[in-house]
Amino acid sequence: MTDYRAPLQDMQFLLYDVFGIEQEWQQLAGMEELNRELADALLEEAARLTETLIAPLSRPGDEAGVRFEAGRVFTPPGFVEAWKTYRAGGWIGFAGDPAYGGQGMPRSLTLMVEEMMHSASNAFCMYSILTSGLALALKSHGSDALKSRFLPLLYSGECAGAMCLTEAHSGTDLGLLRTRAEPAANDTYRITGTKIFITGGEQDLTDNILYLVLARLPDAPEGSAGISMFLVPKRHLNDDNTPAGANGVSCGSVEHKMGIHASSTCVIHFDNAEGWLVGTLNNGLKAMFTMMNYERLSVGLQGLACSELAYQKSAAYARDRLQSRAPAGAVNPEQAADPILAQPDVRRMLLTQRALIEAGRAFALYAGMQLDRARYGKEDNKPRARQLAALLTPVGKAFLSDRGLECCLEGQMVFGGHGYIREWGMEQLVRDARIAQIYEGTNGIQALDFIKRRVQANRGEHVGWVISDMRAFVAAHQHNLNDYAAMLSASVDRLESVTAHIVKAGEADANAGPAAAVDYLAQFGYVLYGWMWARLLVAANAHDDAEGRYCLFRRQLADVYFKRLLPRAEMHAQAVESGANSLMAPSMDAF
């Protein structure tokens, strides 16, 4: 079995050669100290940790799963020890506020580390990613008292976090939720209700767990306008923050899932549990979403991370597995058959994965840079960066996770029947990657957010910014892009016309946008991946070792992308243009 190897060279090529990240960091408040030397050291350490500590947990963790016993959850063997090492490394607070013990690293760097973590073990990293996410929400919306008390506990991994939104009858539509919060003494609240699908809701890695809970005050308005956010510990805390008695929080059961078996997915009951308000009353959903906007990219990265490992394993298998002869003549005549890598269709599967992975990583970095500019950049640049980040985030979540599953399936197919057998780990990647299309808002919900709030709401203006940037890039690098310049330009033109079409159609018919949403998002994704490949190509051509193996392979991948994958944008464009009628005309009974 092939072990995971962190794709450091690819990451460094993107950071330094494609995006000139050092200069970017220079422009960010608080990041002036960050340079290539430090970043490389951190990336190498993350690579070492993920390859040696976390990756070995993945297969056994899938087989063992979490164990539920009398209200307690036990993670698979090795998780407790690994968590200790992991948290000691300061990785949970990697992006955290330095004022409270965080490392203060920008999104452009943390996303590389996150990718490695998820490649190594999606399930293990869920415990950490939820903790970081909760810390971020608390940092953005919590009072000083809550922040100074709890952020250090979260950053250090002494406490883990869990986000409690979903209830049995309310998932996508959180306005329906029923969990109640009653005001109590000392500015506290008493929370009562049942939440489902709570990742890391119970585990044995930490002595205490902090929950961020969405709930409704008795007199709150109905719907999403009446939701508030509370911080609730599993156990009360002593003055030194060590855990004390139980706080009315219990785990009712764990779900049996398709994948991420080692990540606990819990039903959590709150029975008059004590908590503190985070942010202001009835503002909970908005507060939760500011955090989720930042974190949604993480879910896209999970898809990317699974793809990277799927590629590594399937490429290795294709080199080793001897089967049939190459169509154009034996390449391995001294043996009974040629490696299947000699088969064009096997190469198609591998290169499709690789072309999507590298564009996906570039896209994530591009989106991460906007998030950094929005948070740490120069004031003048912040509004635009914020809008761009909002535009790119749903695409980063949905398109990366959709392509993630596609890549895992291609990787699995390279293995033939062996890919269906558990021991090779390929089918696990498919099962683990599948959830990324669902949680943090299904990809359909992402597409609705994208088309409604990010495109139609500003009449395509923000997409127009990206279109201008792409055109400027093509104009500046025309000579360097050969035939691809025309292909990319044509796809950008189509994006522009389809955007105009959908903005206009939306004015006449409320269903027009939603009916087009998923296809429009995919069209946008493929065109932007085209831009990413143009940027990779330009960087490869300008590289010191432009004729070397590494750059040669990038040029080949660009060719695959432009000729084989970018054409997909057009089929999505046509689906958008086909309108809402074929979806909405049939009566309910016609189904």
Partner 1 sequence: MSHYKAPLRDMQFVSHELLDMPSHYASLPGYEDVTVDVMDAIIEEGRKFSEEVLAPINHSADEEGCHLKDGNVTTPKGYPEAYKQYVEGGWPGLNGDPEFGGQGLPGSLSIMINEMTGACNWAWTMYPGLSNAAIQCIGKHGTVEQKDIYMEKLITGTWTGSMCLTEAHCGSDVGLLRTKAVKQADGSYTLTGSKIFISGADHDMAENIVHMVLARVEGAPEGTAGISLFIVPKFIPDAKGNVGKRNAANVSSLEKKMGLKGSATCVLNFDGATGFIVGAENSGLKQMFTMMNVARVGTALQGLAMAEPAYQAALNYAKERLAMRSLTGAKNPAGAADPIIVHPDVRRMLMTQKAFTEGYRAFLYWLIQKADVVAKGDEAAAKEADDLMAFLTPIAKGFVTETGFECTNLALQCFGGHGYIKEHGVEQLVRDCRISTVYEGTTGIQALDLIGRKVLGSGGELLKKFTKLVHKLCEASKNDAQLSGLATVLAEKNKEWGALTMDVGGKAMENADEVGAASVDYLMYSGYVVLGYFWLLMAHKASEQLASGNGDADFYKAKLATAQFYFDRLLPRTLMHAAAMRSGSANLMALDADHFAF
Scanning residues 527 to 586, which ones bind partner 1 (CB under 8 A)? 549, 552-553, 556, 559-560, 563-565, 567-568, 570-571, 574-575, 578-580, 582-586
3 state SS of 247 = coil
Note whether 339 binds partner 1 by CB under 8 A: yes
Q: How far is the CB of 103 from partner 1 (least distance, A)?
A: 28
Q: Residue 479 or residue 591: which is nearer to partner 1 going by CB?
A: 591
Interface of this chain with partner 1, residues 350 to 369, rule: CB under 8 A:
350-351
Q: Are 401 and 433 in contact (CB under 8 A)?
A: yes
Stretch that binds partner 1, among 27-35, 171-179, 206-214, 460-468 (CB under 8 A): 171-179
In angstroms, the CA 123 to CA 207 distance is 19
In angstroms, the CA 339 to CA 450 distance is 44
Q: Are 518 and 451 in contact (CB under 8 A)?
A: no
Interface of this chain with partner 1, residues 415 to 454, rule: CB under 8 A:
416-423, 427, 430-431, 434-435, 437-439, 442-444, 447-448
In angstroms, the CA 59 to CA 123 distance is 10
Interface of this chain with partner 1, residues 235 to 294, rule: CB under 8 A:
255-259
The helix-helix angle for 122-141 and 55-64 (nearest 10°) equals: 100
Q: How far is the CB of 370 from partner 1 (least distance, A)?
A: 26
Q: How far is the CB of 212 from partner 1 (least distance, A)?
A: 18
3 state SS of 90 = coil
Q: Residue 31 or residue 408: which is nearer to partner 1 going by CB?
A: 408
Interface of this chain with partner 1, residues 193 to 232, rule: CB under 8 A:
197
Q: Are 551 and 533 in contact (CB under 8 A)?
A: no
Q: Residue 141 or residue 313: which is nearer to partner 1 going by CB?
A: 313
Note whether 152 binds partner 1 by CB under 8 A: no
Structure tokens at 538: 């330009």
Q: How far is the CB of 5 from partner 1 (least distance, A)?
A: 6
Q: How far is the CB of 582 from partner 1 (least distance, A)?
A: 4
Q: Residue 372 or residue 519: which is nearer to partner 1 going by CB?
A: 519
Q: How far is the CB of 178 from partner 1 (least distance, A)?
A: 10
Q: How far is the CB of 315 from partner 1 (least distance, A)?
A: 5
Structure tokens at 166: 């979903």
Q: Residue 48 or residue 84: which is nearer to partner 1 going by CB?
A: 48
Q: Residue 197 or residue 531: which is nearer to partner 1 going by CB?
A: 197
Kindly report the backbone phi and psi dihedral angles of residue 264, in degrees, each rounded to the nearest multiple of 5, phi listed first: -80, 130
In angstroms, the CA 147 to CA 144 distance is 5
Site mask, partner 1, residues 4-43, x = CB under 8 A? -x-x------------------------------------
In angstroms, the CA 212 to CA 190 distance is 13
In angstroms, the CA 12 to CA 514 distance is 38
In angstroms, the CA 456 to CA 507 distance is 9
Residue with tokens 């990319």: 488
Note whether 497 binds partner 1 by CB under 8 A: no
Q: Residue 246 or residue 421: which is nearer to partner 1 going by CB?
A: 421
In angstroms, the CA 364 to CA 6 distance is 17
Q: Residue 78 or residue 223: which is nearer to partner 1 going by CB?
A: 223
Stretch that binds partner 1, among 143-151, 170-178, 230-238, 384-392 (CB under 8 A): 170-178
Residues contacting residue 584 through CB under 8 Å, at least 6 positions apart: 511, 515
In angstroms, the CA 432 to CA 437 distance is 10
Q: How far is the CB of 321 from partner 1 (least distance, A)?
A: 9
Choose among 48, 78, 82, 81: nearest CA to 62.
78
Among 185, 240, 344, 544, binds partner 1 (CB under 8 A): 344
Interface of this chain with partner 1, residues 369 to 408, rule: CB under 8 A:
405
Residues contacting residue 246 through CB under 8 Å, at least 6 positions apart: 234, 235, 236
Q: How far is the CB of 465 from partner 1 (least distance, A)?
A: 26
Note whether 337 binds partner 1 by CB under 8 A: yes
Q: How far is the CB of 369 from partner 1 (least distance, A)?
A: 25
In angstroms, the CA 230 to CA 23 distance is 39
Stretch that binds partner 1, among 110-118, 283-291, 364-372, 507-515 (CB under 8 A): 507-515
Q: Residue 71 or residue 416: which is nearer to partner 1 going by CB?
A: 416
Q: Residue 99 or residue 571: which is nearer to partner 1 going by CB?
A: 571
Q: How far is the CB of 562 from partner 1 (least distance, A)?
A: 9
Structure tokens at 232: 């609730």
Choose among 229, 166, 227, 221: nearest CA to 199.
166
Choose among 199, 305, 259, 303: nearest CA to 422.
259
User: What is the per-residue DSSP string for 302-364?
Assistant: HHHHHHHHHHHHHHHHHHH-B-S--TTS-SSTTSSS-BGGGSHHHHHHHHHHHHHHHHHHHHH
Note whether 70 binds partner 1 by CB under 8 A: no
Residue 496: active-site member: no
The helix-helix angle for 107-120 and 344-376 (nearest 10°) equals: 140
Among 12, 143, 170, 480, binds partner 1 (CB under 8 A): 170
Helical H segments across 106-201, by residue range = 107-120, 122-141, 144-155
Note whether 587 binds partner 1 by CB under 8 A: yes
Size of the site for partner 1 (CB under 8 A): 98
In angstroms, the CA 422 to CA 42 distance is 33
Interface of this chain with partner 1, residues 307 to 336, rule: CB under 8 A:
311-312, 315, 318-319, 322-324, 327-329, 336
Q: Residue 457 or residue 583: which is nearer to partner 1 going by CB?
A: 583
Paired sense of beta strands 235-237 and 228-233, if any: unpaired
Note whether 469 binds partner 1 by CB under 8 A: no
Q: Are 77 and 60 in contact (CB under 8 A)?
A: yes
Catalytic residue among 440, 496, 507, 547: 440
Among 48, 67, 72, 169, binds partner 1 (CB under 8 A): 169
Active site residues: 440
